[in-house]
Chains A and B, each alone.
Chain A
Amino acid sequence: MTAALLLLRALRAARASPAARGLRTAAPRRAFAKELFLGTLRKEEVFPYPEISNEELAEINQFVGPVEKFFNEEVDSKKIDQDAKIPPETLQGLKDLGLFGMQIPEEYGGLGLSNTMYARLGEIISLDGSIAVTLAAHQAIGLKGILIAGTEEQKAKYLPRLASGEHIAAFCLTEPGSGSDAASIQTRATLSEDGKHFLLNGSKVWISNGGLASIFTVFARTEVVDKDGQVKDKITAFIVERDFGGVTHGKPEDKLGIRGSNTCEVHFENTKVPVENVIGEVGGGFKVAMNILNSGRFSMGSASAGMIKKLIELTSEYACTRKQFNKKLSQFGLIQEKFCLMAVKAYVMESMAYLTAGMMDRPGFPDCSVEAAMVKVFSSEGAWACVSEALQIFGGLGYMKDYPYERYLRDTRILLIFEGTNEILRMYIALTGMQHAGKILTDKIKAIKKGNMGVALGEFLTRLQDTLGRKVDLGLVGDRGVVHPSLQESAKKLEENVYYFGTTVRGLLSRFGKTIVEEQLVLKRVADVVINLYAMTAAISRASRSISIGLRNHDHEVLLTNIFCTEAYFKNNYAMAQLEKYADENLDDSIKKAAKQILEKRAYICSHPLDRTF
């Protein structure tokens, strides 16, 4: 549990100090998700669904054509998977298209795309998993540090050649002993006598693009002297060029999926890194790492949605032609259920991804790290479920390498692991939200203790109304509601869930207090509920807009939204009911007990069913 605890502490520290992004002048806006933990739904943040200007829309549609064409004609995913390599011509084609500098500003030779436009192109790039990961490792994390925390000199020096793809970048954080627990890395950078450079020593593992990259963003421990003269070990981020010397990499790892993406160990032996290559401040590296990771996460939503949409096309072709028992597969309920699942998941993922991207594109650099984490968890698990069902539709054929479904399955599995494992992200989502709620509630209690009658009265009335069974109204439906009347049912369910969630969180905080960090099974349920809440909000907001502006097939969108919201509503209610119970009532204690018994013996401990005692 210390992993999450350290993560939380570090994130608290990260949020308190000025951002890595240079020009932030205002405090980060309280974005949407954290308020859900207080039972509040900040309508202004999510209604209406974000839109882009006509100009931007025309531009992004222009971009989609050539990229799609390239991926359809020049990318042989089967060969890339078999050879475990992306052919140099394909890589060059990607560079020529400009895909290596999508988010680098135009002045440095990139395309300067906004988060929304980047997400849109991600839908197409995800058609090949290996290429998607290679590009993401290069720009979403590899060079992002320079983009968001670099000085003008660093940007001018490195970005142009990274934009053209002449140099490829890699992100070096993970070590054999430090995966989820990123703060525990051991790679060290010691300042030279003359204070002009650092000597970097250490090994990094599972580095995407490790073998191809010439520019690395490396995280290492450095000695920092505190204000009070104390010497502390803090993490610093560096831009390291392969040319600095002492940089070696291992052989490519033989992976289950995304086999065309190069993953290997990277070793630094007395690598000389000039002090000008520090990203941000010395000792501020962890903040930089978290900001980098938070800023790229949301795009997994659109990438997964793009892949599922393609799968729906491929599998429906088969389902509508293949006949068994004298009926087309498409006429059987169990097959129909699978298509509904894929469409619903894709719809919700898209809605969440573009809602988050739209929020991030707003001026003022809002902090959307919790929302982005929610998108990542939902999309990775949704994608895994959908790919599995798509393969199932094909039956035996789906299992054969002649068909791409097994490759999609293998490529998708990594989504639940990298960019922050879903377990860690669930803890992050739950704890960040609960900490926010806890702080607000503590402030209220302090106010009451100080004699603030207004606050006390407000709280008393709220409790009274709760016990009297009030009707929940958060302003989504009704005369001045922001949601279109066709979505009334779903909106009401959302309001009810949000309100009940706020009460549940309050109850958990008063029951557990600070020890909540240890209760992973509780936090998991909390995270699942709030992820569903965000998903429902995104779907309702998008469907509402679709009806209002009359997009084609908006009634289908309403259908998908209602299906999702109804299912999520019941799942949320169940989870929250479980949360109200104490550990001995809701199976948590039993689960932990069983696990303890198994892990003590490191084996399955039941006697064999055929055993006898005589």
Chain B
Amino acid sequence: MAALRVLVGVKRVIDFAVKVRVAPGGAAVQTQGVKHSLNPFCEIALEEAVRLREAGAATEVVVATLGTKASQETLRTALAMGADRAVLAELAEGAAAGPREVAVALAALARRLQPQLVLLGKQAIDDDCNQTGQILAAILDWPQGTFASRVSLEPGAVQVQREVDGGLETLRLRLPAVLTADLRLNEPRYATLPNIMKAKKKPLEVVPAADLGVPAGPPRLRLLQLQEPPPRAGGEKVESVESLLGKLRHAGRI
């Protein structure tokens, strides 16, 4: 079988269960000492790639991320879930990156590694941008299948079922292609402890982000301000439908 390499892009984000707080200054979220983990949609993308390899449709799964040194632990988790090797496009401590910067890095890696398929999560749960996959496809000039809920490889092509507002849409894309994973694509496996130990021996390459053409300086997307939502005001119970309508009209809602 011809070599079919899959490149999976992942992101280290604040764990979904954490109660996020705005850091003093209102310019960022508190990240010091807060639990981080692999972005859930990236997990789903990685799981799909590993399943493709296990089914024999793919030959190698390479996982990559753009981040600071701390992202190495995220890559180790990905290796424990079944990726064959990992690449860290390393940013300096304190540097930030947005979807465009990530796409530039992944594009450079794609030109280096020549994958037939790039799988990403549809969005990260911290910024909910939903842009990286699309920008990446544009840079590489590859076809894209976003919000994938089913993926099947065919010779030279990939069939993608997408979840769109109107329902489900199925596309056939020529390879190489960029896909982004949606929630119902699969259920990711647990990284078992024996696999975590085996992952220690798998190769993890560190490449400075600048070497991949990631521009130095602040990201294209600038965060202007962050504030917590206003505290929830109490609700009110009314006795009848009329008084409900009255209250709503009074509050200018209808």
Chain A contacts to B: CB under 8 angstroms: 58-59, 61-63, 65-67, 69-70, 93, 96-99, 102, 106, 109, 111, 552
Contact = CB atoms under 8 A, between A and B. Distances in A.
Contacts of B200: 59
A96 B73 contact: no
Nearest to A101: B194
B191 A65 contact: yes
B21 to A, nearest CB: 15
30 contacts: A58-B73, A59-B196, A59-B197, A59-B200, A62-B73, A62-B77, A62-B80, A62-B196, A63-B196, A65-B37, A65-B191, A66-B80, A66-B191, A66-B192, A66-B193, A66-B196, A67-B193, A70-B190, A93-B190, A96-B190, A96-B192, A97-B190, A97-B193, A98-B193, A98-B194, A99-B193, A111-B193, A111-B194, A111-B197, A552-B33
A33 B191 CA distance: 40
Nearest to A111: B193
Contacts of A65: 37, 77, 191
B5 interface: no
Nearest to A74: B190
A96 B196 CA distance: 12
Interface centre among A66, A70, A109 (most CB of B within 10 A): A66
A69 B190 contact: yes
B190 A66 contact: yes
A142 B100 CA distance: 56
A70 B33 CA distance: 22
A106 B193 contact: no
Interface centre among B33, B77, B192, B193 (most CB of A within 10 A): B193
B193 A63 contact: yes
Contacts of B194: 98, 109, 111
A70 B191 CA distance: 10
A123 to B, nearest CB: 15
B76 interface: yes
A97 B194 CA distance: 7
Interface in B186-222: 190-194, 196-197, 200
Interface in B108-122: none
A336 B145 CA distance: 55
A63 B80 CA distance: 10
B77 A97 contact: no
Given A62-B196, A69-B190, 15 more contacts: A59-B196, A59-B200, A61-B73, A62-B73, A62-B80, A63-B196, A66-B190, A66-B191, A66-B192, A66-B193, A70-B190, A93-B190, A98-B194, A99-B193, A109-B194
A59 B77 CA distance: 11
Nearest to B197: A111
Nearest to B37: A65
Nearest to A552: B33
A59 B194 CA distance: 12
A59 B73 CA distance: 9
Contacts of B196: 59, 62-63, 66
B41 to A, nearest CB: 16
A96 B193 CA distance: 8
Nearest to A99: B193
A111 B37 CA distance: 23
A102 B200 CA distance: 17
Interface in B26-55: 33, 37
A387 B73 CA distance: 35
Interface string B65-96: 00000000100110010000000000000000
B63 to A, nearest CB: 15
A106 B73 contact: no
Nearest to A97: B192
A57 B188 CA distance: 25
A62 B194 CA distance: 11
Nearest to B199: A62
Interface centre among A59, A61, A62, A109 (most CB of B within 10 A): A62
Contacts of A111: 193-194, 197
Nearest 3 A/B pairs, CB to CB:
A98-B193, A98-B194, A66-B191
Nearest to A62: B196
Nearest to B190: A66
A280 to B, nearest CB: 29
Interface centre among B37, B73, B77, B192 (most CB of A within 10 A): B192
A59 B72 CA distance: 12
A62 B76 contact: yes
Nearest to A96: B192
Nearest to B38: A65
Interface centre among A61, A97, A111 (most CB of B within 10 A): A97
A63 B76 CA distance: 11
Contacts of B192: 66, 96-98
A106 B197 contact: yes
Contacts of B193: 63, 66-67, 97-99, 102, 111
Contacts of A96: 190, 192
A99 B191 CA distance: 12
Nearest to A69: B190
Contacts of A102: 193
A109 B192 CA distance: 13
Nearest to A70: B190
A63 B194 CA distance: 10
A62 B197 CA distance: 9
Interface string B168-198: 0000000000000000000000111110110
B73 to A, nearest CB: 7
Contacts of A109: 194
A105 to B, nearest CB: 12
Nearest to A102: B193
A429 B194 CA distance: 38
Contacts of A70: 190
Nearest to B15: A65
Nearest to A72: B17
Contacts of A58: 73
